[in-house]
Structure 1
Amino acid sequence: MKKGFTMIELIFVIVILGILASVAIPRLAATRTDAEIATTVSNIRTLISDLSSYYVVKGEFGNAKWGDVTNVPIRLERQKSAQGTKVVLNNAAQGAVYLPVDGIDCIVFRVKDRDNTQTPARPAYIEIGKVRANKGKGTCKEVLEAEPIKAYLDLRVPNVTPIENNNGVPEAGVIVFESSISIY
């Protein structure tokens, strides 16, 4: 008598493996998305903390470059690293840096240094917004819908107008940095 598996036994094993795979694969994809959201939230918190610490110590951003302030992987448009560029530029569109999610520019940051032309001086702030062109693409959409990210995008500060969409609805949050050196 030969020892081995019958065709029916092999078919049952294949069916069971197929059922297990159909349950496991979607769970793995959800875990990957959850990890991307957690990484993005962590990167935003680190970036805000780094900017705040730098501002509190120096009292201004001045000619600081992103590489001097943080090591969060932010970039300029067209996939270029932002580490060698100034944190604050005169033109807000030029001063934008992006936090990628799955290789797509998903979240935009703009930093405004304090304005010494008014009395009392206004503190510096960072604007956190959605990249409009990519807000519905891939994992970026799910990241922007996550509660911690929504909370950052919903932050408001009096007398600061964040980025708005075509309908006049704000699409960015604003965080204020106050320096221990400055007197307000």
Structure 2
Amino acid sequence: MRPAFTMIELIFVIVVIAILAGLAVPKMLLIKNDASVTKELANIEILKNDLSLYYARHSKLPDGLINPIHFTQISNIFWSDNTTIDFKFPKETCIKIKIDNENASITFSPINNPIPLCKTLQFALAKSSLLNLENNTIKDKMISLGGGSIYNTSNVK
């Protein structure tokens, strides 16, 4: 007779592999979600920097008449009107970015979106200071771009 594995040994190995897979797959999904949120967090930082650079070059912020591809390479942003950019993640609006040329400011606003990835992104933005976090509530954050020197020259004679 040839030496071979018995049916019980094979079933035991299959059960052990299934248990290990059951432990590994949820962790892998969490890592994938974390990577997606980190990527979009970086994209929002890039968008903020691109808007600041646009302001520095043109002395005004872009409006809805300018295609977003002309001031950023981010693909999931869309103008909802002439002064508001919708940041979609994963497929629905998660963050609204209000552009105020009069005050040279950008306001980041969270959207009440039930998608868990969106909530995670909003919390990550609050941690990175692009949104305000007060009493476990994520709120708008305004960033001013222009209006003065970075050096205080009022005391210089």
TM-score, normalised to structure 1, is 0.68
Q: 1:111 aligns with which of 99, 118, 122?
A: 99
Stretches of structure 1 lacking an aligned partner (at least 5 in a row): 77-81, 90-94, 116-121, 156-168
Counterpart amino acid of 1:138? Answer: P
Deviations 1:135-167 (A, max 9, x none): x21311222222x44421119xxxxxxxxxxxx
Q: 1:138 aligns with which of 110, 116, 119?
A: 116
Tell me the distance in 2 between the aligned counterparts of 1:39 and 1:11: 42
Counterpart residue number, 1:70: 72
Distance 1:7 1:62, change over 3 A: closer
Q: 1:100 aligns with which of 77, 88, 110?
A: 88
CA RMSD, Structure 1 to Structure 2 (Å) = 2.6
TM-score, normalised to structure 2, is 0.78
Distance 1:170 1:17, change over 3 A: closer
Stretches of structure 2 lacking an aligned partner (at least 5 in a row): 150-157
Counterpart residue number, 1:125: 105
Distance 1:16 1:170, change over 3 A: closer
Counterpart amino acid of 1:61? Answer: L
Contact 1:129/1:173 (<8 A) preserved: yes
Tell me the distance in 2 between the aligned counterparts of 1:142 and 1:8: 45
Q: Which has the higher contact order (CA 8 A, sep 6+)?
A: 1
Counterpart residue number, 1:177: 145
Tell me the distance in 2 between the aligned counterparts of 1:144 and 1:67: 24
Distance 1:62 1:43, change over 3 A: closer
Deviations 1:62-115 (A, max 9, x none): 666122211212334xxxxx4xx88xx3xxxxx3222222222211111111x2
Corresponding residue pairs, total? 143
